[in-house]
Structure 1
Amino acid sequence: MNILRKIRQGLRDAAQIIIIAPVKLPVKVVAVARYVALVIGLLEALDSEKEADGVKREDKGQAEEGRDETQ
């Protein structure tokens, strides 16, 4: 999973550099960089939601275990 994060970070950095480049680049190159940045942003948002959801599920599971022991 660490390799995937490094790839995402590299693509994100490259897309940002292309988007903010002071040099006149072809329109298609900038458009592709914007789409890449958008997709990576979505993937990171989904990944952070999944991690947050996993933490909530673990907490909920621990709370349910505590209830079972008292009954």
Structure 2
Amino acid sequence: MADANAPVKISADLPKELFDALVELANKRGVSANTVLQEAIAREKYFSDKEASGASILIEEKNKTFKKVLRG
């Protein structure tokens, strides 16, 4: 039986702009690009599941107002 957490190697083609953003995020956080991708996928799955159950995603601005995040 395969380990559900065993790494699976993938290949992805990214536009230069997204690749640069990936590298920038990794450098700012002091982690690998792979870690940034893993966390982004995990967050996207979480948000997608929450929206599918009827939840809304809100952003609290500095001035304490809330804005609903509209996603595709």
TM-score scaled to structure 2, two decimals?
A: 0.35
Give the number of the structure whose alpha-carbon radius of gyration is greater. Answer: 1
Structure with bigger helix share is 1
Structure with bigger strand share is 2
TM-score scaled to structure 1, two decimals?
A: 0.36
